[in-house]
Structures are given as C-alpha cells and as structure tokens.
Amino acid sequence: MPEESLNRSTDSKLDELVSGYFTDLDLSALPALMNHLEDARCWLVKNKDQLDNKHLNPILKKQEIQDRLSAKPLARIKLKETNRFVALDDQNQIKFNSISFSPLTHRIASTLMDLLQPQGRVKLFQSGRNWYPNPGYMAWHTNSNVKGFRLYCSHAITEGASYFRYEDPITGEIITSWDELGWNFRCFSADPEPLWHCVYSETDRISFGYGLQFIHG
C-alpha cells in the first residue's frame, strides 16, 4: 500500500468549483445547515462576554487598519518573509477557537460530503473562529502551514461593510470579495503556492473556519 499523501487534486467536485485558488459557494438554500449556523451565531451573541478578547483593541482607527490591508504593506512583508502562516498580533477581533459547536461541525461535514462527493477520504478540522467588530481585521497571512483547503462561513449584519481580500498567486492581482448581508461561504486553497489574504470589517462579522484535506493512497 502506498503511503497516504496530500496533493492539489481533490478527486471531488471541488476540482470543478474552485477556479484557480478561490471560490464563493452558495449554501444558503440548505435549511439544516443554515439552522445550525444560526444556532451557533445566536449562542455567541448571547455569550459574548465569555469569548477571548485579548486581540481586541477598541481604539484602532479605520484608516489605520485599511492602510495595513493594501498592496504596499503586503509587498513589504513579502520582501522580508517568503511566507507568514498567521497574522500574529496584527489583528483586531474576538476569538472563540475553544468552542467546538460539534452539531454544526457534523452538519458541515455531511453537507460537504453531499456537495463534493469525494472519491477518497476527507479530513475536516476546525480552523479560525473569529468575531470581527467595527472596525475589525486580520492582516495579511497565508494559512499554508497546514496544506489543503479552507472553508469559511461568515455572517455580516451589514451588506458591503466587510470583505475577504486575497492576492492571486498566479497573476499577483489583489481581489476583494465583499460580504453580502447574512451568511457568506468562501473556499480557497492554501497550497501549492501560498494564498496571501486578509479580512476587514466595519460591522459585526462572525466567521466559522474549517480546514479540508483530501487524502489519497
């Protein structure tokens, strides 16, 4: 038996859905998934005082944040670092990584199996769990220390007031994907080239992240 390995091909319908390194997914018509997401979001709103706010800075200015998320600071970072797996302290947000929301995770797993119909095994794991305030952000980083794909389910209470921004690894173009009102679903590849990306918000934006690895062999 060959050793298990991870490669760029997923042997699933995700190969068709992801054009290059990024795609928006439309999962809003799946009532069971939406109910689980809403239950988790409502729990967070009711229990906000229990969440991790050590990365929250209430006096940051919007223009200062926006300047950090432009192309120029990314270019400066890349002159010094070939990769930056996480944003470290360059962020302004509330975290809830310690909360598992197991029913939601199980629903995400079953939804992805139905949608993607993978030929092999899939490993699903919890990634970032972030609540972005107004203003909130996570600076440029790649997540490429863990290979595979990322799925982010993000809820914004205001349309067009928050975004996911990334640099296309092939063209170098900076692309901004603005949030719609309600739930937004994005999937992107963290390899083979790093996908530099960042997040900005001028509204309450709650995001549930998952990692996806398609295992061959």
Per-residue pLDDT of the chain (217 residues; tens, 9 = 90+): 333 444 468 999 999 998 789 999 999 999 999 999 999 999 999 999 999 999 999 899 999 999 999 999 999 999 999 899 999 999 999 999 999 999 999 999 999 999 999 999 999 999 999 999 999 999 999 998 888 999 999 999 999 999 999 999 989 999 999 999 999 999 999 888 889 999 999 999 999 999 999 987 6
Within 8 A by CB and 6+ apart from 16, the residues are none
* CATH number, span 5-216: 2.60.120.620
Angle between helices 31-46 and 102-116 (to 10 degrees): 150
Give the separation between CA 95 and CA 112, rounded to whole angstroms: 25
pTM for the predicted model, two decimal places: 0.93
